Amino acid sequence: MARAFLFIVGMVIGAYGMVLSAQIPSYLVTSVQDTIRRDTIVLEEVVVHQKLSPEEQLEAKKAYHKEIFGLGDNKNMVIINPLGGIAVNIQKLYNHFSRRGKGARRLQRIFEEEYADDLVNALWNPLLDEYIPLQGDSLQKFSLYFKPDLDFLANATHYERVEYMVNSLKNYRDSVDVIHKNLELKAEP
C-alpha cells in the first residue's frame, strides 16, 4: 500500500518539475508481449481446390437453391390422362401466377445467364492467353469489347475462333481510343 501511495505521489510531484525516484510495483507493469500473445489466434489450414466447371457450378446452384427451382417450375401444369380426364397441379398453377414464382423464374434466368457466361469464359479465356499479346487494362477492355456469344464459340472450329481473335485484335489496335471511350461511357451511369 505504501509503495502504491509513493508511486502516485511521485507521479504528481514529477508533473510539477520535481524528480522523485520510486520503484514501480510489479503488479502495475504489464508487458506488451504478454498482450500480443493472448490476442493472437491461430487459424486452421485452408485448402483451395480447383475451380468448378460451369456445369458443376450450375448443379451446385440447383442443389443449394432447391426451393427456387421448385417454385419456378411451371411445366406440366395440366396433364391429360389417356383413360379420360384432366389433372391440374394446383401448386404449379399457383406458382405460375404468384409473385414468388415469378421471382423464382427470374432468378433461374439469371442463373442460366451466368452459366452461359461461364461457358463463354471457359472457351474464350484460354484463347486470350494463347493468342493475344495484350496485358493489364488493355486485355480486359479487349475481352469486354470483343467477347463473342456462346453460339459462335460452341459452333465454330478452332481455326474460326483464332481467325476471329486475330481480326478483333487488328480492329482493336486500329481504334483503341474509340473503344476505350465507349467502354468508359457504358460504365458511367
Please count the other Cβ atoms lying within 10 Å of the Cβ belonging to residue 153: 19
Vertex 34, ends 32 and 38: CA angle to 5°?
Answer: 120
Query: Tens place of pLDDT for every residue, the chain, 189 residues?
Result: 444 444 444 444 444 444 445 555 565 555 555 555 556 678 888 887 778 888 999 999 888 988 888 888 878 888 888 888 888 888 888 888 889 989 999 999 999 999 999 999 999 999 998 988 888 888 888 888 889 999 999 899 999 999 999 999 999 888 888 888 887 777 665
Tally the C-alpha atoms within 13 A of residue 180's C-alpha that lie toward its C-beta.
8
Question: Whole-angstrom Cα distance, residue 91 to residue 186?
Answer: 42
Q: Which of 141, 73, 59 is nearest to 102 (CA)?
A: 73
What's the pTM value of the predicted model, to 2 decimals? 0.62
At 83, the amino acid letter reads L
